[in-house]
Amino acid sequence: MRVPWPLVHCLMLPENRDSDIAIAKKICEGLRSGGKECLGELVTAYNELFINFARRRLLKSDILEDVVQSFWEEMLNGRTICAYAHGSKNTATLQTYLIGVLHRRVIDANRKTSRYEEMHRAAENLHETPDQAPTPHHVLAGLTSNNLARRLLHQALLRLSEESPQDAILVRMYLEGLDHRQMATRVGKRVDAVKKQFTRKNTGSLAKFKSALKHLMQSEGITYEDINEK
């Protein structure tokens, strides 16, 4: 039996894993005996999460249904779930395992999209000058304050995502340079709703992010001057 990927990281918490393996064995046996309906419970439990996840990760949203559908079709042949059920080195929960499989499918789909777009872009931009290589000065700057800023940003985003993942998504878009209208387009909400959620004085996304950032800076002993270094 082909294992989709090696699950060799033995550092997962063991909670729920045994019951997950038991569930997977039951589904595996059901699929092998031709009972496709036994996958229904899994679909009910995870389909919404998988759709949400794939929608965020795919470069093109119009292939969302195809990707998730093909993922479930692959599940129907039983090999993937049986690999989890009987994998001796497997230590991940079923949820993590399945998201990992879906993640690979999303990467494959994005590669195909990128390849297709690159081919078209290459044909259109034959005469464009390439981007200038970064100077040593830029590289040095990147090693110092930019590194510190990036590290702080990443850690603050992580902290915010633990408490309020949706706010973290908005802040990431803000850091990418998107305005409220562009954020609203991306998240599929009204502009005023996004603006309100983002800029509310004490409970808005930006306020929460700044709070997390300041907390990190205080615990690390970093000042604003450190960040503003050139």
Partner 1 sequence: MDVTFLDIQTIKGKMAKTDKTTSIPILSLRGDIPAEVMAKLQAAYQASGPSSTQGCPDPETVIGYALEELIPQRRNQVYAHLSECKDCLDLVLDLRSAWAEAQEGKPEVWESAPIQVQPQSWLAGLVDGMSAWFPRLVPSPKLIPLAVALVVVAVVGLGVFRHLTAPTSGQPSFTMTKVTSGTAYNYKVCALDEADKVSPGAPHKRITNLAFLPLLLKN
CA angle 8, 9, 10 (to 5 degrees): 105
Q: Cα separation of 156 and 227, whole Å?
A: 14
Q: How far is CA 71 from CA 78, 81, 183, in A?
A: 12, 12, 29
Q: Cα separation of 121 and 75, whole Å?
A: 36
- Nearer of residues 118 and 162 to partner 1, judged by Cβ: 162
Q: Which of residues 45-74 bind partner 1 (CB under 8 A)?
A: 48-49, 52-53, 55-62
By CB under 8 A, name the one of 24, 83, 85, 197 that touches partner 1: 197
- Nearer of residues 33 and 44 to partner 1, judged by Cβ: 44
Which of these ranges, 32-40, 65-73, 122-130, 162-170, lies near partner 1 under the rule CB under 8 A?
162-170
- Nearer of residues 36 and 190 to partner 1, judged by Cβ: 190
By the rule CB under 8 A, 223 interacts with partner 1: yes
Q: Per the structure block, which two tokens stand in for 217?
A: 């800076």
Q: Cα separation of 173 and 163, whole Å?
A: 18
CB contact at 8 A, 112 and 104: no
- Nearer of residues 32 and 203 to partner 1, judged by Cβ: 203
Size of the site for partner 1 (CB under 8 A): 80
Q: Which of residues 91-150 bind partner 1 (CB under 8 A)?
A: 92-93, 95-97, 99-100, 103-104, 140, 142-150
By the rule CB under 8 A, 43 interacts with partner 1: no
**DSSP-assigned states of every residue in 193-225:** HHHHHHH-TTTSHHHHHHHHHHHHHHHHT--HH
By the rule CB under 8 A, 3 interacts with partner 1: no
Virtual torsion, Cα 146, 147, 150, 151, nearest 10 deg? -150
The least CB distance from residue 122 to partner 1, in Å, is 19
- Nearer of residues 136 and 221 to partner 1, judged by Cβ: 221
CB contact at 8 A, 83 and 3: yes
Q: Per the structure block, which two tokens stand in for 88?
A: 């001796």
By the rule CB under 8 A, 220 interacts with partner 1: yes
By CB under 8 A, name the one of 7, 75, 82, 109 that touches partner 1: 7
By the rule CB under 8 A, 166 interacts with partner 1: yes
